[in-house]
Amino acid sequence: MPHSNIDPRTRRSAKRLRRELTKAESAMWTMLRDFRQFGARFRRETPIGPYIADFAWLSARIVIEVDGDSHETDHGRAHDVRRDAFMKGQGFTVMRFDNHQVIDGPDYVFTTIEALIAPFLERPPT
């Protein structure tokens, strides 16, 4: 019997996505790893139901998405609305950043994330 209700195809897709991080996703991963010493346990490309979250801290119920050009289409926006509604229905808080925000404004992104996750950290970053 499987140990999870995640579809095997979703798991395979998540594994592939972990190997193929974009430049912005790689920068975000580096940023999120800075919070690890304070107890944050983000995971990359994590299946949540039928969807794959770019970054998720499961115990804190936080999802962080890094959006590229595909999210700027009508289809991409509609997909994001359905996906965010599903994740919020599962108790997750979802934050979204565009690729250019992560690459060109990392200080803003870092402080925005820090403000959201501060109540979950073991001790505040200095």
The CATH number of the domain holding residue 80 is 3.40.960.10
For residue 125, is it within any domain?
no
Mean pLDDT over residues 34-45, rounded? 93
For residue 103, is it within any domain?
yes
Q: What is the DSSP letter of 3?
A: S
For residue 4, is it within any domain?
no
Task: Check: CB of residue 33 under 8 Å from CB of residue 110.
Answer: no
- In which residue are the tokens 């965010």 written? 84
Higher pLDDT, 1 or 53: 53
Does residue 2 register a pLDDT over 60? no
Q: Beta partners for 97? A: 66
- Residue 114's pLDDT is 95
Does residue 41 register a pLDDT over 70? yes
For residue 6, is it within any domain?
no
- Residue 1's pLDDT is 36
pLDDT class of 126 with cuts at 50, 70, 90: low
Q: What's the one-letter identity of residue 67?
A: D
Domain membership of residue 64 as a residue range: 29-120
Angle at 97 between CA 83 and CA 5, to 5 degrees: 30
Mean pLDDT over residues 76-92, rounded? 91
For residue 5, is it within any domain?
no
What is d(CA 53, CA 98) in angstroms, rounded to the nearest whole number? 15
Q: What share of the chain is helix, strand, coil (3-state, %, to 5)?
A: 55, 20, 25
For residue 78, is it within any domain?
yes
Q: How many domains does the chain have?
A: 1
Using one digit for the tens of pLDDT, what is the confidence trace for 55-69? 999 999 999 999 876
For residue 71, is it within any domain?
yes
For residue 19, is it within any domain?
no
